[in-house]
Structure 1
């Protein structure tokens, strides 16, 4: 259902056959490639059990055994006892392989195009009108790897951008629509146009949002994305 780029990334440290079948149960997996700010990660794929990825130096501190199966209360207890916190889970969305085929055949919607540094003035005006909290959360920037926008009467009213995520060919995306122009399907059109171009360039579109961000969940669904998993990481020392 999902591209091998997605599954190879998330299950690089474990065989798929070792992922527990029971929802709510996670397999403890040691991953020496984890960075400091992701030295503990929890992945819960849709419809099956999950995995807890742990850096080697954190394994003993958490009291885990390699290959053990643990449930949510046991994980929460171990994390608390180790004086750690989890950041708070995000939904992970990707386009299914079937939807990717559809994306590749779509043309650009009227009023949607790729943005460049030549659009700096238009983008600055867009940023000045966007809610400040959403600018921080969505992380849409003109200098990102790939940027698309939707226009109404030559005014930029929706923007979406992507950047390669964690040194992979996954491309993390964010999108913002100015409040007066919401409900018109502009975000959906922009996300799909942006994603089609990313696929053309050999990258896999990735959409993340917090579990309680119902507007973002609705956008993911309308854009044709499919929920792959929830994902959580250890909170950084600065959080």
Structure 2
């Protein structure tokens, strides 16, 4: 994972390696952390190098029969969760920029037709939202009052918007982007992703892009924007019995 910045690697380790380490080997680590939020009381990260990390609250660890021992695998961990009635939400693909791509992005020419949005663009943004589908708005989670917001324009019309906010108390900024349907496939989302990401770096944050495993359009966008898959991330489902 050395091709990603140390900031990214340290951020993810911090989410999983606090608390009491129940098991650790070259392939899988699991910890019990009493400080996890309720909606993140179980988390699993599987990275592209084949390693996995998991973290649970001590209460759920006890319920699932997880205790300090050797020989625990990610498959065994998932089996223990199933036995305890713990259901995980569908995984997200996690994307970041590599160090090499960050250098290329720094050399990008200024993007024509894309700029930062502010509260002064409220009427413009409201019109954009009115033209977007409810499903698109919910899935992208793009808001004008987020920490950082950029838009792409076509003939003075806002046709694509992306927003970021600092995520999980780290130096990582989570990104959502939405393009109005008639303007998709024209490179607007790529422009927004690269513009907002470059600005986030200037502010000391690493951009992060997430999407569901079966979201083909978002996966395609990640590749076109120069993002690389870091891994998959799961949290406990809101419908979990435990």
Q: Structure 1 length normalisation: TM-score?
A: 0.91
Deviations, residues 110-135 of structure 1 (Å, cap 9, x unaligned): 10000001111111111011111010
Query: Structure 2 vs 1, CA of residues 4 and 120 (structure 1 numbering), >3 Å: closer, same or farther?
Result: same
Please give the per-residue CA displacement for 1:168-187, whole angstroms capped at 9, x wherever unaligned.
22100000011111111110
2:54 is paired with a residue whose SS is strand
Aligned to 2:159: 157
Hey, what's the Cα distance between the residues in 1 that align with 2:111 and 2:144? 20
Partner residue in 2 for 1:172: 174
Q: How far 1:74 moved relative to its partner?
A: 2.7
**Residue 6 of structure 1: SS of its match in structure 2?**
helix
> CA RMSD of the aligned region, Å?
1.9
TM superposition shift of 1:67:
5.7
The match for 1:10 is: 12
CA contact under 8 A between 1:139 and 1:174: conserved in structure 2?
yes
> For 1:41 and 1:171, how far apart are their aligned partners in 2?
19
One of 38, 41, 46 as aligned partner of 2:40: 38
The alpha carbon displacement at 1:49 in A equals 2.0
Distance 1:166 1:158, change over 3 A: same
The match for 1:20 is 26
Picking from 163, 182, 185, the partner of 1:183 is: 185
Q: Secondary structure at the match of 2:112?
A: coil
TM-score (norm 2): 0.90
Report the counterpart of residue 21 of structure 2 in structure 1.
none
List runs of 5+ in structure 1 lacking aligned partners.
none
Equivalence for 1:135: 137
Q: How many residues align?
A: 233
